[in-house]
Chains A and B, each alone.
Chain A
């Protein structure tokens, strides 16, 4: 099937979409969004510099119709969600968002009810637009580079004035092998420094639940969950996190979850490999002390 990937130039995200594309074709085409070289080997590459989703929809729809693409893949990201639904209307195409599984015969799976259920759909018409949830598919290794044809510029409706990167100290959340995550139970922004201290010993990163982000203790870029980052570390420490299904949807692929919670009935213990029923303010400093002694 003729498959088109639309994605910003970020090797891990591109790699995941390349892996997904192999379910549909041998070698996909790509529209690379933003500046820079396009890593990986694609049958045909297009590049568009404008990174504002709503400015791209028209040109993308024309390209898809002209070239006869049957499957359009994006990641479930700010860009992908900005493009997918409007594009589906332009193309009269089905759209399935946050896809977590792909089966033969155009059958796809996605979560419902905050990850408490999984729905299976069969696509009945081409082209079809899919957004792929991050970290559910291995990222393919991208070799070499592909020379693009420039696309656009299209009609600019929305203007990008400024872009701010949230300064992340140390290792990015998605790449960390160990994540120490805190929820409302952590109690304050200051208390998060204790979690940071612990994460540092593992060369890890600090994450948070939506509750802690809503309190303003942690920036939104550190939110883990179905509407935050999807992570797949080796160890995920959930500190003062009750374990709502929306949060668990972000750690479905974590290898080992360690729950530290005062409430022995907290839902997080149902997902955890190891559990400590304790006030984190007691156990975390002792864990840090023990790690310090070993170092």
Chain B
């Protein structure tokens, strides 16, 4: 069994809005680079499958060479091989086409896991595109994966609960976050071991870009002015004032 996890390195997604700035319509370069949060859930899910079913596990990314040290964290968590298609496009069609090229080279891939959406583009479309390009089924928002009687059995989270789904063929699954796939913290030993692993670098192929134009990217201003209600001395009074104000302004 061969599982591939797609991972993307992004600018620090915890930078607060007040400190966030753009350069050329993208996050300023000064922010720390890190693995996308759902990508980490996907890696954790992949490592768990590797442990449970003795699968082999490849981490695949499309991006810059500078991000290799961050990608090694995925290897330290339990990935075996690391492949990087070197490129810098944000276009989902181009990214998906390049990931497909890399998957085709890996040949015997059974299951592809990806984060439910990247922590920079917030799109959640690349994995679905890749699935269709590979003619794999695409199933989003997966919380749990098991193998039973030669079939995959997965739990998908929906808006109102969850679904249990079963399929036999290949698939791309997008992984959501649940307590069971909170990413593990790699040991120091595995971090050092990961540093020595070779990286399989692949040259980018030219993919068709999506027929849309990016007109602009703006940072919306938050216009709320907070009225602080003093609560140090008299907490009962603070509670009364808050409720009175909510009523006066007809919120409740």
Contacts and interface: CB of A to CB of B under 8 A. Distances in A.
A157 B224 contact: no
Nearest to A252: B220
B202 interface: no
Given A96-B212, A124-B213, A116 B161 contact: no
A178 B176 CA distance: 27
A293 to B, nearest CB: 10
B122 A77 contact: no
Contacts of B140: 53, 78, 81-82
Nearest to A90: B132
Contacts of B218: 117-118, 120
Interface stretch (B46-54, B69-77, B102-110, B177-185): B177-185
B236 A286 contact: yes
A290 B27 contact: no
Given A86-B131, A117-B22, A107 B215 contact: yes
A94 B216 CA distance: 17
Nearest to B25: A119
Main secondary structure, interface of A, reads mixed
A216 interface: yes
Given A113-B13, A227-B116, A271-B222, A86 B164 contact: no
Interface in A149-179: 157-166, 177-178
A234 B251 contact: yes
Contacts of A121: 212-215
A119 B245 CA distance: 36
Interface residues of A, number: 92
B203 interface: no
Main secondary structure, interface of B, reads mixed
B239 A287 contact: yes
A245 B125 contact: no
B123 A98 contact: yes
B163 A163 contact: yes
Given A84-B128, A85-B125, A158-B167, A234 B14 contact: no
Contacts of B245: 274
B226 A270 contact: yes
A221 B116 contact: no
A125 interface: yes
B162 A164 contact: yes
Contact of A270 (B18, B120, B153, B158): B18
A229 B160 CA distance: 10
Interface in B118-154: 119-129, 131-133, 137-141, 143, 153
Nearest to B121: A112
Nearest to A217: B179
A119 B11 CA distance: 17
Given A85-B127, A94-B212, A276-B231, A78 B238 contact: no
Contacts of B123: 97-98, 110
Given A117-B219, A235-B251, A94 B137 contact: no
The CB with the most chain B CB atoms within 10 A, among A53, A226, A259, is that of: A53
A107 B92 CA distance: 18
A23 B174 CA distance: 31
Interface in B188-218: 210-218
A97 B125 contact: yes
Across the A-B interface, the 7 shortest Cβ-Cβ residue pairs: A85-B128, A125-B211, A216-B179, A89-B132, A86-B132, A85-B125, A166-B161
Interface of A: 52-54, 57, 77-79, 81-82, 84-90, 93-98, 107, 110-125, 157-166, 177-178, 202, 210, 213-216, 220-221, 226-227, 229, 234-235, 244-246, 248, 255-259, 267, 269-278, 282-283, 286-287, 289-291, 294
15 contacts: A85-B131, A88-B129, A89-B128, A95-B92, A112-B121, A113-B13, A114-B13, A118-B218, A122-B212, A159-B167, A221-B157, A234-B251, A245-B20, A269-B228, A289-B236
Given A107-B215, A122-B215, A274-B227, 14 more contacts: A53-B140, A112-B217, A114-B122, A117-B22, A117-B218, A162-B164, A163-B163, A221-B159, A221-B161, A255-B251, A256-B251, A271-B222, A274-B245, A276-B229
Interface of B: 11, 13-18, 20, 22, 25, 27, 38, 92, 96, 116-117, 119-129, 131-133, 137-141, 143, 153, 156-167, 169, 171, 174, 176-179, 182, 210-220, 222, 224, 226-229, 231, 235-236, 238-240, 242-243, 245-246, 249, 251-252
